Chains A and B, each alone.
Chain A
């Protein structure tokens, strides 16, 4: 038992230190990496608590998917466009710090003086072992007693999909792209957007980064820099 407690404190300590790193790091990418470390430690704590499924879910969803999303957002935003970090008025910072301390004291008091403990449920370690393990037990419980929450979760994900789709769709350039698609093909594979055999001298020079048709049967998009490609939206011409 003692070794488990020791491992827990080790993991919890690293998790908290990494979480502090998320807040304190000045470079957002460093923050994201600290977050990964924190997530992995929390996952390891789940393993210590014998919640293996939760640990795997934590790794796959949080360290896998969520962090990728966070990093993409960081890449989308130019760092020089971001406002100064660690800003705010001194008074506000002081009040925030004090409120944080108060919450910490409250949680500490609650943990240290706690004597109540809810009655454990019917899934004892033996019962879990009898059905083959943690995930089997969760599956049985989740898809029998928790039918309504499962379906509500599906609805929640559906609503999130629709909302995210509408908001993330860069429609501002959609019409421009629709025109471009009718006229041109875009080639990412060639350094200057050339995808037919044509002497380079015959190609019209791009002006002000604008897209220009190159003549011939098949139109070309000229792009001098990668940014001209990246201005294109993720959306094709709407199929409707």
Chain B
């Protein structure tokens, strides 16, 4: 597989960049700009915004993200096995099973500890 096969993606990227910037630039110069204080206010369903835009998240999101990272890595490791499992035969299967089994322990642990519950 040569690098040339990625030329299409490169072309796509370049096209997307040019189109995006062009559209924004054209809009910038074509549109009328007559700001008034009322127009400059942030708009939220007709209600004036009272809370600061960067609301504080609850730690439960953090926990979910943390577990997501761990299982994301697991999924990445399983992918090469999935595409080569025919060559690896039973040996590879047992190994992948061991790998998943160890992480299953982790999942079971989280589950029983209630980490997967949303309150």
Contacts and interface: CB of A to CB of B under 8 A. Distances in A.
Interface of A: 3-4, 7, 47-48, 50, 52-53, 57, 60-61, 64-66, 68-69, 72-73, 75-76, 78-79, 129, 131-133, 135-140, 142-144, 147, 150-151, 153-155, 157-158, 160-162, 164-165, 168-170, 177, 181, 186, 226-227, 229-240
Contacts of A161: 67, 70, 106, 109-110
Contacts of A64: 72
Given A65-B68, A65-B72, A238 B56 contact: no
B54 A75 contact: yes
A1 B84 CA distance: 31
A144 B92 contact: yes
A139 B68 contact: no
Question: Looking at chain A's contact residues, is the secondary structure mostly helix, strand, loop, or mixed?
Answer: helix
B58 A139 contact: no
Given A150-B99, A161-B110, A230-B58, A168 B1 contact: no
Q: What is the interface residue range for chain B against chain A?
A: 35 or more
Nearest to A4: B3
A20 to B, nearest CB: 21
Contacts, number: 186
Contact of A232 (B58, B81, B92): B58
Contacts of B63: 164-165, 168-169, 234
Contacts of A158: 102-103, 105-106
Interface string B77-100: 101111111011001100110110
Contact of A75 (B61, B79, B96, B119): B61
Contacts of A150: 77, 95, 99
Interface string B41-67: 000000000010011111111111111
